[in-house]
Chains A and B, each alone.
Chain A
Amino acid sequence: MTHIDLHSALAAADAAPYHDLVTRQTGARVRHVVEQQLAGLADGSVAFLDFTHIGVLDRSCADEFVAKLMLPLTRADAPRDGYVVLRGVNDGHLDAIEQVLLAHGLALVVQCGDGAARLVGAVTEVERLLWERVMVTGGAAAEHLEADVGLPPDEASRLLESLARRRLLRRDHDRFCPLGRVA
């Protein structure tokens, strides 16, 4: 697991003593810095983007940074195999992040202050239920999860595959595993 402090990324991007993630221009610059760091990671790595020292996050910046960082990773032909989890996120950050994720049909795993992970963005209730089962079990094969949520086997497998493709779960052979700490 790799920790990326966004305050440091912001300083590297804008070369000025800011602590707010505002404007599209700044969002794009920070995204480039973070993309460079992610490109240096091994395949399958989980990167924790830490918002702890970030003041304000506005929606334009969140769109340019968070959403556009995730869009290529969630494509069928993703350029790299990596995962992103957000941490140190406050209510204000969360509002901006959630809105831009919804606009793009994206979702992300956010680690809360108590260490528990939650799913934020565009997910259905059934997807959320499956994802939570994975979190509770700490990882399981599809056939062990489908009964828990009362879905036909094919449907559960399809949804789990989709969650993995969207970088919300990790695929480890036939098992689907959590990204953040187990709740």
Chain B
Amino acid sequence: MTAVITVPASLDEQSFESVIEALAAIPADAKVLVDARHCRFATPYGLTALLCLAQSREAKPDFAPPDDPDVASYWSRSAFFRYAEELYTMRGTVPKPRAAGDSDVLLEVTPVARNEDVHAIVGRIQEKATQILVQKLDLDPRATMSFVMTLSEAASNIIEHAGRGGWVMVQRYNWAKRRVGRDVVQIAVNDAGVGFRKSLESSRARALADRWDDGAALESAVINGVSRLQDPGRGQGLKGIRGFVHRFDGKLTVRSGTSRIAPVLPDWDEDQARLDGLPPFPGAQLQVIIPKRVARP
């Protein structure tokens, strides 16, 4: 029997939790249909997380694409279906990707499995990142390098620690009607690999911890810069990401296993610094949001 997982109409970091929750109730080897027919909106986090979902299943799941042709067309232009068609059995037609024109997609869904993938991402995104960050987000041109470094470090973490390939996507949004009230750029770097807890199993932090779980592992790595390797130079990547996000009034969240932390929380957002006891999801899911710069009085 096939279990149906319904993709919410608006798929983002927060609403993907309902997908994970539904998934948690289904045995790992059960056949699953991921039903996105009524989905109308998906963020980079949502799209890349759907690919992770397929990677995490023992049996190749089925996928019902969005009914709305505009939505399906956007998912196609974002290269979601290019990879979804490999990971899912499609139940429905998928539009062919067409040139996007003046798109707000800085980087479409891109796989990260090898060193070369990170170089390709860094090489491809620089020109468009400069254009969007400077013209749309009013950031200093020098912010582009920090932005690209953030992307590079986050993608490198997949190669270094995940044990399997993951996904990256970057998109600009106009969030005038949301609490932040301005344009933002979102980076999602998601994988369905071993996750922070398992990656740090042999670390000193693990040996010294009274209590060891996903939340403790996340805090050790993301906040305290602990790595599985005892080398003072390790842990620099996540430290650099935190610094960049903080400097540009952004938001950083990292989920792994059953926990999620928000080590950088801006004034414009209401979120919890740490959540434990979430339904389990493999690997690590990182999201960065950088808003348009606001001139200080």
A residues engaging B (CB < 8 A)?
Answer: 14, 16, 18-20, 22-26, 55-60, 62-64, 67-68, 90-92, 95-96, 99-100, 103-104
A56 adjacent to B236 (CB under 8 Å): no
B156 adjacent to A99 (CB under 8 Å): no
Knowing A23-B152, A55-B126, A56-B122, the reply to whether A103 touches B233 (Cβ < 8 A) is yes
B126 adjacent to A24 (CB under 8 Å): no
8 Å CB contacts to A: which residues of B132-187? Answer: 142, 145-146, 148-149, 152-153, 156, 159-160
A103 adjacent to B236 (CB under 8 Å): yes
B198 CB to nearest A CB, Å: 20
Knowing A103-B232, A104-B232, the reply to whether A91 touches B142 (Cβ < 8 A) is yes
Q: Determine the chain B residues whose CB is within 8 A of the CB of A68 once the complex forms.
A: 233
Dominant SS among interface residues on chain A: helix
Q: Determine the chain A residues whose CB is within 8 A of the CB of B57 once the complex forms.
A: none
Q: Which B residue sits closest to A90, measured CB to CB?
A: B145
Q: Which A residue sits closest to B153, measured CB to CB?
A: A58
Roughly how many angstroms separate A99 CA and B243 CA in the complex, as a whole number?
A: 11
Interface size on B (CB < 8 Å)?
A: 24
A23 adjacent to B126 (CB under 8 Å): no
Q: Which A residue sits closest to B156, measured CB to CB?
A: A23
Roughly how many angstroms separate A91 CA and B149 CA in the complex, as a whole number?
A: 13
Knowing A56-B145, A59-B149, the reply to whether A20 touches B236 (Cβ < 8 A) is no
When A and B form their complex, what is the total count of cross-chain residue pairs whose Cβ atoms lie within 8 Å? Answer: 83
Q: Determine the chain A residues whose CB is within 8 A of the CB of B234 once the complex forms.
A: 63
Knowing A103-B233, A104-B233, the reply to whether A58 touches B149 (Cβ < 8 A) is yes
B118 within 8 A of A: yes
In-complex Cβ contact of B149 among A14, A56, A103 (8 A): A56
B233 adjacent to A63 (CB under 8 Å): yes
Q: Which B residue sits closest to A26, measured CB to CB?
A: B115
B239 within 8 A of A: yes
B128 within 8 A of A: no
Roughly how many angstroms separate A15 CA and B260 CA in the complex, as a whole number?
A: 39
B29 within 8 A of A: no
B228 CB to nearest A CB, Å: 13
